């Protein structure tokens, strides 16, 4: 099927964002369907000659028909747990039904590839894994053959399950865990998952098959914690399983300790009670490859963080809500300016460094306090960090902000995703002057009800420390950057 055109849905997600460049390397022409194609514009492969990006929604049959036209295969990598909240299962069923119907009407379509979840069927199967099985059934109910790859935990830098494991081990010397922490699973390295996803198109015998994929090791979650502890070179962790720790309590604890919200953590925690082990070796027999052990996969994933090589993250997925209507009603504005003795490109590089492990240039204690308070009320807090320490792209998560506008060398816009009684926006605008640059920093807040008004006036006294200090830090950083390096053109975002 070399040089055939394939469709990838979910390209803005964790697996989809890594699959696209590997398909291109294998010689395929790739078409991506996304609600927000701009989220893909900053990816290194966005300008590839064989890539096509379409805006569309799986809820809109017309956009699906257009996306599938001329494609011989389609990857279905959509999961709406982030977007649809508690109703994600029904939402996923509907989207899969729409996709199967549209694929059946596409004359060129030969097969659909779906990445699902391992787990033995039965009444005890978690809602999360049951939803994956329902998607399988909806896709298979159409006339286009479906290849289903079922995986347990995927070990890779930036995956939701891996982040839970890493943060729990890093932060907790003593862990009180659910009793099913002893349940067996068969994790697989993200590298191996991607290899299987690419190679299914080359092996005709995989058409219409359900294939279990996993690494060489069968381990419990407790074993995973111990291996992670060793890989991080930390002192031994005490793990205490207790029977009264429910999935809801587990998810709230995960929310406080890790970057994941309890809405995402709960279905993942519920899935721990299910044994997720391969029942067949057919995938490895049909598509042989070297499978990484659990320790090798964890070491490779941690290496991605150490060299700033987190290719995609669980935070990449999900819709970007539209900006509120700033016209009408009360909108509070805090606008500050500073002249900087550096070119706009250097100023923009300094602006891009805010947040994550780099800090916020000033009042980091206040930022951490605000992040801690946000976690307590169910928000993301600061633990999502950032994917790359130097560059940002449209749609990137940045602590409890989201990049909703970016023009290299000119503008960066952030929308708050923290729990707020209103809508907040933070924007940086850069203009060139005769002797350097002008940076305008604007914070906007549109309150919702009396609580919003009280919130604005409560935080107003801290703006001087936070925003004035941030401007000063950006100015010092931009002026310290080497001129030649600062004048390099920025990558399109």
CATH number of 332-486: 3.30.530.20
Parallel, antiparallel or unpaired: strands 111-117 and 188-189: unpaired
Residue pLDDT, tens place only, 113-138: 999 988 776 666 777 778 888 999 99
8 A C-beta contact, residue 323 and residue 216: no
More confident residue, 160 or 290: 290
Give the Å distances, CA to CA, from 197 to 76, 347, 455.
11, 41, 48
Give the domain ranges of the chain. 5-156+182-218+273-307, 332-486
Strand segments, DSSP code E, in 83-233 are 111-117, 146-151, 154-155, 174-178, 184-185, 188-189, 210-213, 219-220
pLDDT at 477 over 80: yes
d(CA 250, CA 255): 9
Residue 299 has phi, psi (to 5 degrees) of -60, -40
pLDDT at 492 over 50: no
**What pLDDT is attached to residue 488?**
42
- As separate numbers, helices (DSSP H) first and strands (DSSP E) second, the chain gives 18, 19
Q: What's the chain's Rg over C-alpha atoms?
A: 23
* Residue the block writes with tokens 């604005």: 456
pTM of the predicted structure, to 2 decimals:
0.72
Token output for 286: 């049909």
Q: Of 374, 378, 159, 161, which is closest to residue 263 (Cα–Cα)?
A: 378
Spell out the alpha helix ranges (H) of 272-326: 282-286, 294-306
Q: Please enumerate in sequence order all residues whose Cβ is within 8 A of that of 299, keeping only pairs 6 or more positions apart, or say none.
A: 231
pLDDT at 25 over 70: yes
Parallel, antiparallel or unpaired: strands 210-213 and 146-151: parallel
Give the confidence band of 280 by pLDDT, cuts at 50, 70, 90.
very high
Residue pLDDT, tens place only, 333-386: 899 999 999 999 999 999 999 988 888 998 888 888 888 888 887 788 887 788
Residue pLDDT, tens place only, 371-411: 888 888 778 888 778 878 888 888 888 888 989 888 888 99
Query: How big is the CA angle at 257 (ends 255 and 258), to the nearest 5 degrees?
Result: 70
CATH number of 5-156+182-218+273-307: 3.40.50.720
Residue pLDDT, tens place only, 132-178: 889 999 999 989 999 999 999 899 887 878 888 888 888 788 877 77
pLDDT at 476 over 50: yes
pLDDT at 17 over 70: yes
Question: If 0-12 CB within 10 Å is exposed, 13-18 middle and 19+ buried, where does residue 450 land?
Answer: exposed
Query: How big is the CA angle at 472 (ends 443 and 353), to the nearest 5 degrees?
Result: 75
């Amino acid at each position: 099927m070399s040089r055939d055109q394939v469709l990838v849905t979910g390209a803005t997600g964790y697996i989809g964002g890594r699959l696209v460049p590997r398909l291109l390397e294998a010689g395929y022409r790739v078409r991506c369907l996304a609600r927000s194609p701009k989220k893909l514009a900053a990816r290194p492969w966005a300008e590839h000659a064989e890539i096509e990006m379409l805006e569309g929604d799986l809820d809109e049959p017309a956009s699906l028909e257009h996306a599938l036209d001329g494609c011989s295969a389609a990857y279905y990598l959509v999961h709406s747990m982030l977007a649809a909240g508690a109703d994600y299962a029904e939402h996923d069923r509907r989207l899969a039904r729409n996709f199967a119907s549209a694929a059946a009407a596409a004359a060129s379509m030969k097969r659909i590839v779906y990445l699902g979840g391992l787990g033995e069927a039965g009444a005890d199967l978690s809602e999360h894994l049951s939803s994956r099985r329902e998607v399988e059934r909806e896709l298979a109910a159409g006339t286009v053959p479906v290849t289903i790859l079922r995986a347990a935990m995927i070990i890779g830098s930036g995956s939701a399950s891996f982040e839970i494991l890493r943060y729990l081990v890093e932060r907790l010397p003593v862990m009180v865990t659910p009793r099913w922490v002893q349940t067996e699973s068969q994790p697989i390295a993200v590298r191996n998952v991607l290899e299987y996803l690419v190679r299914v198109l080359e092996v005709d015998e995989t058409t219409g098959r359900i294939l279990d994929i996993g690494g060489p090791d069968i381990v419990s979650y407790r074993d995973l914690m111990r291996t992670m502890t060793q890989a991080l070179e930390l002192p031994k962790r005490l793990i205490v399983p207790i029977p009264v720790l429910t999935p809801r309590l587990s998810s709230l604890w995960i929310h406080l300790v890790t970057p994941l919200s309890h809405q995402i953590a709960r279905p993942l925690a519920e899935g721990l009670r299910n044994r997720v082990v391969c029942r067949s070796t057919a995938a490895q027999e049909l598509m042989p490859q070297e499978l990484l052990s659990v320790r090798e996969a964890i070491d490779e994933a941690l290496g991605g963080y150490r060299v700033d090589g987190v290719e995609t993250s669980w935070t990449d997925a999900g819709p970007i809500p539209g900006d509120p209507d700033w016209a009408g009603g009360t909108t509070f504005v805090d606008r500050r300016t500073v002249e900087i003795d550096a070119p706009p490109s250097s100023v923009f590089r300094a602006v891009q460094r805010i947040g994550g492990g780099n800090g916020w240039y000033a009042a980091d204690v206040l930022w951490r306090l605000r992040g801690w308070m946000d976690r307590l009320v169910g928000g993301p807090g600061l633990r999502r960090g950032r994917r790359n320490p130097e560059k940002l792209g449209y749609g990137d998560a940045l602590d409890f902000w989201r990049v909703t506008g970016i023009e290299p060398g000119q503008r960066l816009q952030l929308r708050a995703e923290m729990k707020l009684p209103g809508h907040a926006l933070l924007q940086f605008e850069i203009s060139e002057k005769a002797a350097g640059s002008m940076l305008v920093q604007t914070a906007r807040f549109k309150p919702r009800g009396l609580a919003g008004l009280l919130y604005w006036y409560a935080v107003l006294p801290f703006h001087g420390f936070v925003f004035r200090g941030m401007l000063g830090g950006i100015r010092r950083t931009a002026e310290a950057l080497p001129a030649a390096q600062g004048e390099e053109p920025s990558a399109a975002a």
